[in-house]
Amino acid sequence: MNLKNIKNNFYINLLIIILVFLLDRISKIYVIYLADKKNSFDLFSSEFLNINLIWNDGIAFGLFSLNEKYLYNTLTMFIGLVIMLILFLLITNRGLKQFSLVLVFAGAIGNLYDRIFYKAVPDFIDFHIGEFHWFIFNVADIFITFGVIFMILLELIGNNKSDNEKI
């Protein structure tokens, strides 16, 4: 791969990261604004989707929510280290694997921003069927999830491809 292709990839990846980050920020700012304006965290309800603002101080989908400031800060630093590892993997990979890492990185940066500036991540998308509710999440979580699913599929396809080539 020549230098021109690497530069083009860099700018495309940077553009994706910026767009995901902005989409995430705008959606969160808008939902926070609506919650303040309505003086309620319950913003919208329908048969399958609710928009309810919650402040998640844990990790993905509200897991490991912590009240202790020391543990919260430790978890935030650990998440920062994981993001740096993802950045390293993003730089060292190419193609579709790099694209999936870009999605994960962009979403993770959006949530890390909230953890640093709000001390919690605003989650607001609540899918449900009847009384069964999935975890409440945000736009950054969508991109992280798609990136991880895409990576898993690439690994499964890659492993199957190499097994077939061996035969």
- Measured over the CA atoms of residue 69, residue 135, residue 78 and residue 111, the dihedral's sign is negative
Active-site residue, selected from the candidate residues 24, 57, 114, 141: 141
Q: Active site includes 123?
A: yes
Tell me if residue 126 is catalytic. Answer: no
Residues sharing a CB contact under 8 Å with residue 16, sequence separation 6 or more, in sequence order: 99, 102, 103, 106
Quote the CA–CA distance of 22 and 2 in Å, as a whole number.
30
Residue 147 burial (C-beta neighbours within 10 Å; 0-12, 13-18, 19+): buried
Among residues 57, 114, 123, 126, which one is catalytic? 123
* Three-class SS state of 126: strand
Instruction: Give the catalytic positions in this structure.
Output: 123, 141
